Chain A
Amino acid sequence: MLKDITLGQYFPGNSVIHRMDPRTKLVGLIIYIVALFTATSWLSYGIMLAFLIVMVALSKIPVKALFKGMKPLIFILIFTGLLNLLFNGGETVLVAFWKITITLEGVIRAFFMVARILMLISATFLMTYTTSPIQLTDGLESLLSPLKKIRVPVHELAMMMCIALRFIPTLIEETDKIISAQKARGADFETGSVLKRVKALVPILVPLFISAFRRADELATAMECRCYQGGEGRTKMKLLRYRRRDYFAYLILLMLLSGVIVAASFGL
């Protein structure tokens, strides 16, 4: 049952977006989010949406997959929408009864807010869907490498992320096994009060932690056996290299950002 969980899901593919350097995609996402928060008008939102649609089309990611990923966020969306709808001042009153007043400004504001969150999430999903976890960690390591000068352990962080991603399926499998073993001995995880159910998790977590520590110990020995000595003097099999499409992507992104800023400053 736990096997259905997908984390950092990746859709293998060979589109332009897939082939782009992971650094471009990471920086691109940041630029897009910044632009999204500078956007204020129908025009700028329109540009942002059009850009997103073109990107999704280019990536050949099924639109269904994008919407599927949003399911767990519906509550947040509704909540944000309602808050903006109800607690925004404004002149043009549309509906007013009891203590609730809904204004035209509030409706527009709520609509923009929800649209903004939807676009932000879609853009993030688009990046994780088109970039394999290992590329993502490589990209992060490379982008953050200037921080090495102020002694931030960038390589170690990237390595930890990579190992964590590698062990998620293994540990999920292990949890499944422990749950089955405890159930076979009469453990009950499904009935009782919330407190009782939380308590029932302890016999799962203890063996899981013990085995995780043992695994970590063995993995460390195996890594030592394979001459691991930290990031210093380490090379990479797949080097990250900017190609023409990456420079082109940066150009478009900058144009997008400056376009939205200009539009915002003219109040469009």
Chain B
Amino acid sequence: MSAITAEKLAYTYPGVDDAPGVAVFEELDLSVEEGSFVAVLGSNGCGKSTLAKHFNSILLPSGGKVYVWGLDTSDEEKLIQIRKTVGMVFQNPDNQIVANVVEEDVAFAPENLGISSPVIRQRVDTALKLVDMYKYCNHAPHLLSGGQKQRVAIAGVIAMEPKCIVLDEPTAMLDPKGRAEVMETVKRLNREKGITVILITHHMDEAAQAQRVVVLDKGKVALDGTPREVFSQIEKLHSMGLAAPETVELCSKLNACGFDLPLDRLNAEECAQVLCETLKA
């Protein structure tokens, strides 16, 4: 079953005063399967975040429809149900944490949903254990590291028990260690809990870990497929102002010097293996 479907989605940012609005999408079609891990790539200003905000009714389409498990996002009656189903994590963890104690912050969403207090307690504990932050449950958020804060923000969304999580550049402000922590957490949630993950990112190596990569360009889906399929089309990526993972870039540059290497080796080990074989031969 498809989790999220965008049909002929159009969106125009309203203009200020008499200025005309800026059209982001005109006819965008996209469907995300339940339980999948999809990475969305695109250069700055191509509408990645705008698209994400359509998935839980923060923005409503100016044309076309977005369906979340069959629910129309423009249906106001279903608003809470949609937001409960699709959780969202943003770039800056500092601006998403509401309370000044970790566990109180994680409890924020279930409290809003009117769940009884013993159940909230249970959900908060489960969520904190899932992101491996249980031992920090009584800490003040501002004393945590960036990666830890972002994991608290993820726990805050998990506590709603959503079927899908949309992460809008969750690692953009983190150091390499924090990035690894967050990516590990996200992959675990997808693998163990079967939560659908939509990851918007600028890091090609993160996108390479997804099952499917969607590249947006000028408000349209430009490329769509497995990471190997997408990243081997290196010229197209370059023309859209994007890069392929470093290993693919390396192979591509070597090919330009007369080698004949495959362009679908996404991690260092695979790449090294191919290089060794070529050198031996």
Q: Using known A-B contacts A173-B142, A238-B117, A239-B117, determine if residue A224 contacts B58 with beta carbons closer than 8 Å.
A: yes
Residue of A nearest to B156 (CB): A226
Q: Does chain A have a CB within 8 A of B109?
A: yes
Measured in the bound complex, the distance between the Cα atoms of B250 and A84 in whole Å is 84
Residues on the A chain within 8 Å of B96, using CB: 218-219, 222
Interface membership of A150, Cβ < 8 A: no
Residues A170 and B117 in contact, CB atoms below 8 Å apart: no
A236 within 8 A of partner (CB):
yes
Give the residues in chain A near B140, CB-CB below 8 Å. 169
Q: Chain B residues near A133 (CB, 8 Å)?
A: 100
Which of B103, B109, B117, B121 contacts A226 (CB under 8 A)? B109
State how many angstroms separate the Cβ of A78 from the closest Cβ of chain B: 35
Chain A, Cβ-Cβ closest to B91:
A218
Question: Is B94 part of the binding interface, using a Cβ–Cβ cutoff of 8 Å?
Answer: yes
Which residues of B are found within 8 Å of A223, using beta-carbon distances?
98, 108
Whether A237 pairs with B117 at a CB distance below 8 angstroms is yes
8 Å CB contact of B94 from A215, A226, A228, A234: A215
Chain B residue total in the interface (Cβ 8 A): 40
Q: Judge whether B104 and A226 touch: CB under 8 Å.
A: no
Chain A residue nearest to B118 (CB atoms) is A237
Q: Does B146 contact A (CB under 8 A)?
A: no
A interface bracket (residues with beta carbon within 8 Å of B): 20 to 34
A227 near B117 (CB under 8 angstroms)?
A: no
CA distance A173 to B80 in the complex (A): 35
Minimum CB–CB distance from B171 to chain A (whole Å) comes to 17
How near does chain B come to A130, taking the closest CB pair, in angstroms?
A: 16
> A163 an interface residue at 8 Å Cβ cutoff?
yes
**Closest A-chain residue to B53, C-beta based?**
A221
| Given known A225-B83, A227-B80, A227-B112, contact A236–B117 (CB-CB < 8 A) | yes
Interface membership of B248, Cβ < 8 A:
no
**Residues in A whose Cβ lies below 8 Å from that of B88:** 222, 225
Contact A229 B98 (CB under 8 A): no
Indicate if the CB atoms of B56 and A225 lie closer than 8 Å.
Answer: yes
| Residue A134 is within 8 A (CB to CB) of chain B in the complex | yes
Query: How far apart are B132's CB and chain A's nearest CB, in angstroms?
Result: 21
| Closest CB in chain B relative to A217 CB, distance in Å | 9
Closest chain B CB from A103 CB (angstroms): 51
User: How far does the Cβ of B89 sit from chain A's closest Cβ, in whole Å?
Assistant: 9
Check A122 for interface membership: any CB of B closer than 8 A.
no
Which residues from A are CB-within-8-Å of B153? 222
Question: Which residue of A is nearest B103, CB measured?
Answer: A237
Q: Which A residues lie within 8 Å of B61 (CB)?
A: none
Instruction: Point out the residue from A134, A166, A228, A237 that lies within 8 Å of B121, measured CB to CB.
Output: A237
Q: Which chain A residues border B94 with CB–CB below 8 Å?
A: 170, 215
In the complex, the answer to whether A227 meets B113 with C-beta atoms within 8 Å is: yes
Given the interface pairs A162-B99, A226-B109, the reply to whether A218 lies near B104 with Cβ below 8 Å is no
Q: Which residues of A contact B156 (CB under 8 A)?
A: 226
Which of chain A's residues has its CB closest to B92's CB? A218
Closest-by-CB residue of B relative to A218 is B95
Among A196-253, those with CB < 8 Å from B are 215, 218-219, 221-229, 233-239
Residues of A within 8 A of B160 (CB): 226-227
Distance from A230 Cβ to chain B, minimum over Cβ atoms (Å): 9
| Residue ID in chain B nearest A238 by CB atoms | B117
Mark interface residues in B41-85 (1 if CB within 8 Å of A CB, else 0).
Answer: 000000000000000101000000000000000000000100110
In contact, B100 and A165 (Cβ under 8 angstroms): yes
Q: Is A38 an interface residue (CB 8 A)?
A: no
Interchain Cβ contacts under 8 Å between A and B, 6 examples: A134-B99, A225-B83, A226-B87, A226-B109, A228-B108, A237-B117
